[in-house]
């Protein structure tokens, strides 16, 4: 029975050891993007660990393409976050230091506050400059390129093969067959995960090797999840891999990958904690940039703001769709911000489980 349904049996410790020893190691696009989101220390430590496995490293052509296509956007997002954070501190300075209506502070406390605030803003400005420089000379890109030399990049599918994958993808997504069906509502690149998966199966079969896939996407179309716990890769994926190439594979988030690597390499716990925190932030439905975009989108009319603030949940928002659409608002941004504000925690339109995964709206 096990031979026919291999994917539905957990990997043994011995099997995992064999995958690490004999398999290739590949990174998803989001793992590369997160290198721009980490602190300098964490980024350097993660790159050092990746280099340690340089002989086993492989990157799908699709992941490499997505990375190069969206790299500038990721850098720009970091600049925006620093800009908005600096604005918040300047507003705080104005509200506390310059506003005479605030409670009276002792001279010593006020001076310490002003000094601390000034140092914080200077530090943020300095770090923002780092990302501005990346737009001209991207040292992070150089580091990644030096690891993933051309022979470690997969061969792209041709146009006909892509068409066949997309046709298969429509059927798979309709039946919620992983991976990628959670991206079905995307307007662009909805089949990106499936193309990556097909490349990995092809590489595994051609090389007769198992593989490790490091991915910071924790959605249910990659992971088997129950009662708020992540148990393993989806059994359907393990089964498909075994049937296609007679090979096994394993999934790791970046923090779990570092924890495994720490068994033989000294890694600071602060590094693992930061990676885990960034991953949680990325997978949470509380999206800071959506909040920024919301402010830019809605700050047009006081009446519109009051109307929006009065909405209690997504159902009430849907009842007013025509109004916001007629006034040229970005409906996706407004909808996201309702979730961010969490107007109605008990409403079933949008809930988040204990690990921060978003459950699809009931519409």
Distance CA 84, CA 287 (A): 14
CA distance 186 to 305: 28
Cβ contacts of 29 within 8 Å, gap of 6 or more: 62, 63, 66, 67, 70, 192, 196
Q: What is the spatial distance between Cα 316 and Cα 338, in angstroms, rounded to a whole number?
A: 11
* Cis amide leading into 179 (omega within 30): yes
Q: What are phi and psi of 37, to 5 degrees?
A: -100, -15
Long-range CB contact pairs, 116-119, < 8 A, 24+: 117/89, 117/92, 117/93
Helices (DSSP H) in 175-225: which residue ranges? 192-207
Q: State the Cα angle at 103 between 98 and 104, rounded to 5°.
A: 80
- Dihedral of the CA atoms 203, 205, 210, 215 (nearest 10)? 40
CA distance 18 to 20: 5
Provide the phi-psi class of 189: left if phi over 0, else alpha when psi is between -120 and 50, else beta.
left
**Angle at 153 (CA atoms; ends 152, 155), nearest 5 degrees:** 130
Instruction: Give 226's contacts (C-beta < 8 A, 6+ positions apart).
Output: none
Distance CA 317, CA 322 (A): 10
What are the start-end ranges of the H helices in 37-60? Answer: 40-52
Q: Provide the residue-wise pLDDT of the chain in tens; the chain has 363 residues.
A: 887 888 888 899 999 999 999 999 999 999 999 999 999 999 999 999 999 999 999 999 999 999 999 999 999 999 998 998 898 888 887 877 766 555 667 788 878 888 888 899 999 999 999 999 999 999 999 999 999 998 899 999 999 999 999 999 999 999 999 999 999 988 889 999 999 999 999 999 999 999 999 999 888 999 998 877 888 899 999 999 999 999 999 999 999 999 988 888 888 899 999 998 888 777 664 444 444 444 444 444 555 656 666 766 667 777 777 776 766 565 665 665 555 544 333 333 333 333 333 333 333
pTM of the model as a whole: 0.76
The DSSP result for 8-26, as a single string, is: GSPPPHHHHHHHHHHSEEE
Question: How far apart, in whole angstroms, are the C-alpha atoms of residue 324 and residue 303?
Answer: 12
Distance spanning both ends of the chain, measured CA to CA: 41
> What is the reported pLDDT for 101?
56
pLDDT recorded at residue 339? 56
Give residue 76's pLDDT.
94
Tokens of 15: 């099997």
| Count of other CB atoms within 10 angstroms of residue 22 | 13
Helix axes 254-261, 40-52, angle to 10 degrees: 60
Positive/negative CA dihedral, 239, 230, 212, 264: negative
What percent of the chain has pLDDT above 90?
A: 55
Angle at the Cα of 69 from the Cα atoms of 63 and 72, rounded to 5 degrees: 120
């Amino acid at each position: 029975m096990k031979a026919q349904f291999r994917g539905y049996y957990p990997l043994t410790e011995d099997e995992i050891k064999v995958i690490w020893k004999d398999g290739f190691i590949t990174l998803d696009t989001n793992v590369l993007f997160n290198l721009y989101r980490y602190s300098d220390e964490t980024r350097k430590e993660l790159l050092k660990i990746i280099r340690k496995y340089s002989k086993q490293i492989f990157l799908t052509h699709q992941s490499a393409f997505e990375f190069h296509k969206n790299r500038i956007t990721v850098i720009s997002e970091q600049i925006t976050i620093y800009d908005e954070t600096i604005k918040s501190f300047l507003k705080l300075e104005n509200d506390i230091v310059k506003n005479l209506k605030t409670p009276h502070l002792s001279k010593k406390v006020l001076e310490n506050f002003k000094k601390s605030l000034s140092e914080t803003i200077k530090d943020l400005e300095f770090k923002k400059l780092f990302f501005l420089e990346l737009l001209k000379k991207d040292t992070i890109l150089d580091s990644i390129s030096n690891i993933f030399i051309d022979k470690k990049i997969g061969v792209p599918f041709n146009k006909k093969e892509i068409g066949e994958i997309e046709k298969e993808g429509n059927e798979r997504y309709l039946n919620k067959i992983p991976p990628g069906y959670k991206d079905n509502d995307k307007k662009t690149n909805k089949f990106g995960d499936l193309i990556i998966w097909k490349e990995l199966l092809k590489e595994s079969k051609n090389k007769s090797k198992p593989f490790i896939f490091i991915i910071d996407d924790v959605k249910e179309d990659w992971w088997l999840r129950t009662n708020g716990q992540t148990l393993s890769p989806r059994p359907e994926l393990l089964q498909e891999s075994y049937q296609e190439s007679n090979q096994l594979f394993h999934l790791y988030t970046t923090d779990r990958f570092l924890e495994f690597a720490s068994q033989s390499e000294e890694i600071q716990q602060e590094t693992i904690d930061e990676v885990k925190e960034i991953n949680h932030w990325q997978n949470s439905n509380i999206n800071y940039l959506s909040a920024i975009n919301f402010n830019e989108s809605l700050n047009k009319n006081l009446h519109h703001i009051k109307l929006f603030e009065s909405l209690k949940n997504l159902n009430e928002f849907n009842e007013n769709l025509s109004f916001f659409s007629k006034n040229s608002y970005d409906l996706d941004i407004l909808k996201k911000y309702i979730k961010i504000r969490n107007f109605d925690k008990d409403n079933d339109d949008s809930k988040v489980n204990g690990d921060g995964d978003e459950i699809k709206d009931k519409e």
